[in-house]
Structure 1
C-alpha cells in the first residue's frame, strides 16, 4: 500500500470516530438549546483537540514524544477555523431555511464533505508529509 493511501485510510478511520464525537456533542448541545453559532464550534473544538494528536501520531506518523512545533499548531488552528466557519454557516443556513432538526441531520454530511479538504490541508500544509 502506498504511503498516501495508508495515510488516507488512517485519516478516514480516525475521522469516523471524530465525526461521531462531533455529531454527538452538536446534537446534544443544540437539543439542549445552545444556538448553532455556539454549538457547532464547541462540538468541532472537542473533536479537533482529539484529532490534532490522533492525526499527528496515527495518520501522519509523528513520534508521540517529539515536541509539537508551534508553527504546526498554528497552521492546524487556521485550517480548523476556516473549516469551522464554513461548517457553521452551512448549518445556520440550513436551520434558517428548514429547521434545527434538519441541520442535525445535515451535520455529518457537511463534515464528510469538508473531510476531503481537511485531509489535503493537513497532509500538505499542516503536517507537511
Structure 2
C-alpha cells in the first residue's frame, strides 16, 4: 500500500474515531450519572458509537476502490472485534470504579477507548475490512 493511502486512511479513522469517542463517552457519562451500572452503560455507549463507526469506517475509511459493499462476513468480524474490545474496556472501567469511584471512570473512559482504538484500527484494517479473501465470496 502506498504511504499516502495509509495516511489518508489513518486520518479518516482518527476523525471518525474522535466523533465515535465523543458519542460513546457522552452516552456513558449520561447513563452512569442516571444510575446505570458501569458495565451496562459502557456496553450501551460502545454499541451506539460502534454502529456509527462501522458505517463510517466501512463505507469511507476502509472502502474498497472496487465499490464492494459491507457484507455479512465483515459485520460478523466487526462484532467479534467489538466484543473483545468491549470486554477489555469494561473490565478496566469496572476496576477503576472499584478502586477509586464512579467519577474517575468518567475521566478514564476516553483514555481507555483511545488506547483501544489502536488495536481497533489494526483489527479493522486486517481482520474486519480485509479485501480479496475467499471467505468473503469475492
Counterpart for residue 119 of structure 1: 121
Q: Does 1:34 align with 2:57?
A: no
Which residue in the other structure is 1:107 paired with? 109
Alignment of 1:90-105 (within 5 A): 90-105=92-107
Larger Rg: 2
CA offsets 1:88-127 (integer angstroms, 9 cap, x no match): 0000000000010001110000000000000000001100
Instruction: Provide the residue aligned with 2:14 in structure 1.
Output: 12
TM (norm. structure 1) is: 0.94
The whole-number CA distance in structure 2 between the counterparts of 1:55 and 1:88 is 23
Alignment partner of 1:59 is 2:76: no
| RMSD of aligned alpha carbons | 1.4
Determine the C-alpha separation between the residues in 1 that align with 2:64 and 2:53.
13
Q: Distance in 2 between matches of 1:85 and 1:91?
A: 10
Relative to the length of structure 2, the TM-score reads 0.88
The unaligned stretches of length 5 or more in structure 2 are: 132-138
Aligned to 1:48: 50
Whole-angstrom distance in 1 between the partners of 2:47 and 2:104:
22
Report what 2:76 is aligned to. Answer: 74
1:2-39 deviations in Å (ceiling 9; x for gaps): 11111111000000000000000000000000001110
Instruction: Work out whether residues 25 and 109 of structure 2, in 8 Å CA contact, stay in contact via their aligned partners in 1.
Output: yes
- The match for 2:135 is none
